[in-house]
Amino acid sequence: MNMKAASDGIKTNGILIVMLMGAFVTILNQTLMNVALPSIMTDFNITASQGQWLTTGFMLVNGVMIPMTAFLIERFTTRQLYLFAMVTFAIGTTISGFAGDYTVLIIGRMVQAIGAGIVMPLLTVVVLNLFPMERRGRAMGLIGLAMNFAPAIGPTLSGWIVQEYDWRNLFYIIIPFAILDVVVAFFLLKNVGKRTFPKLDFFGVILSTIGFGSLLLGFSNAGDHDFLSAKVLGFVLVGFVVLAVFIWYQGRAKAPLLNFNVFKHRTFTLTTTISFFVMMGLYGGMLLFPIFLQSVRHFTPLESGSCFYQGL
């Protein structure tokens, strides 16, 4: 019995380590880009509004994939989904690293986001299924460590690489770690949970994509156009209207993409609202601060990246 328990413990820890490695790599990848934006803007001769799409576009696709993962987890095995996510992430990283122009770089970032958007929600679900209640705290603590350690070292590491070498190396250094994680996952990762093969809410996916995409596009255009113009206010209004329809539809769908009933719990609603505003300010600052420091204050990439290290 003890030998079986020890064996199960080794398998469980192996699964957690593999998925934590993937989560760390994908989160690190997100935090590396911000400090490199001024260099990328110079190389491709693009504006700050265009350059920010390397981050906001990534987050848009990432945001679309997170609710989609709830469906994918029920449809595919843990191994299939995780291997697909990390292989897709590795392919996107390779495309980005060898991109010859801005369009190809954007495509590479979007492909990256597809894989990265699956990893974190999948990791959370696996931990909840794999660990009993009394051990979940430790496992979630390790997830928190990965989520906070990567942003802590990412900007400084990015600044050093961009200053001493070239921004493409930010992608080159990620590729071997992503491939290594795929290889290790192939041998160690086991399936967790059961599949129920639900039907995909296509209409819900379309509504959420149009809604969030319109909002993001509208606010992104605000830097280059008047706020009352169709390219800003028009997209923002479309986004809010479509999202309102999406929420209404999800409340009546038999197999909704997202279950909004959780917002009936006051504590959940309050903490989610607070997190929304905190993350809005955090990501906005992380995107604009390096551009300001390097373009206006003439900081070096390493100096601007080091400013984030002290804050995190």
Tens digits of residue pLDDT in 146-190: 777 777 788 888 888 988 888 999 999 999 999 999 999 888 888
Q: For 2-200, which CATH superfamily applies?
A: MFS general substrate transporter like domains (1.20.1250.20)
CA distances from 276 to 37, 70, 122 (A): 24, 20, 21
Low-confidence ranges of the chain (pLDDT < 70): 1-11, 223, 309-312
Distance of CA 123 to the CA centre of its chain: 13
Measured distance CA(8)–CA(190) in Å, rounded: 11
* C-alpha radius of gyration, the chain, whole number: 20
> What per-residue confidence (pLDDT) applies to 7?
44
> What per-residue confidence (pLDDT) applies to 5?
43
What is the share, in percent, of the chain residues with pLDDT greater than 90? 19
Determine the 3-state secondary structure of 149 from DSSP: helix
Tens digits of residue pLDDT in 110-145: 999 999 989 888 888 888 787 777 777 777 777 777
The whole model's pTM is what? Answer: 0.84
Write down the domain spans for the chain: 2-200
> What per-residue confidence (pLDDT) applies to 312?
53
Measured distance CA(305)–CA(131) in Å, rounded: 37
> What per-residue confidence (pLDDT) applies to 6?
41
> What per-residue confidence (pLDDT) applies to 10?
54
